[in-house]
Amino acid sequence: MLGWSCDSKLLATRDDNMPHCLWIWDMSTLELSNLLVHFNPIKSVAWSPKSPHLAFCTGTAQVFLWSREGASVCTIPIEAKEFAVQRVAWNPNGKSLILVDKWRLTIACPQPEFFAQGVSGPEEELGNIDNEDVKFE
């Protein structure tokens, strides 16, 4: 699993031998920029087509958002129980995501502040659920 950012400066990879790890490479220096380690295996990654924002999922009711400015985890606010995101994909306009589980899908729209400010700051890295900086409409 791998994917280029829209500006071709970053490459996200996941090795099947280490499915809980997402490697983000800085291609200008050919060095590891970030290593994101999760409790569950990473199922899908998708870069925004308009900005260097990465969305990914781990088969839970959460979607993870990353940029160089920071990272957030957001619980999907839908009533369906046991919604386990298996695949994420950005709309070509870069303003919304489609989140797919085994039998259903939903569309998530990060609020405009998400794109203006980047993702939440380093003090709120991957762990704060119901993050106020990233909300879905």
**42-124: which CATH topology?**
N-terminal domain of TfIIb (2.20.25)
pLDDT tens for 14-42 read 999 999 999 999 999 999 999 999 999 99
Of 20-29, 42-51, 96-105, the range with the lowest mean pLDDT is: 96-105
Tokens found for residue 82: 């046991």
Q: In which band, very low, low, confident or very high, does the pLDDT at 117 lie, cut at 50, 70 and 90?
A: low
The full set of domain ranges for the chain reads 42-124
Query: The whole model's pTM is what?
Result: 0.79
pLDDT tens for 51-93 read 999 999 999 999 999 999 888 888 887 766 678 999 999 999 9
Residue 115: Cβ within 10 Å count: 16
The sheet that has 105-108: what strands, in order across it? 87-90, 97-100, 105-108
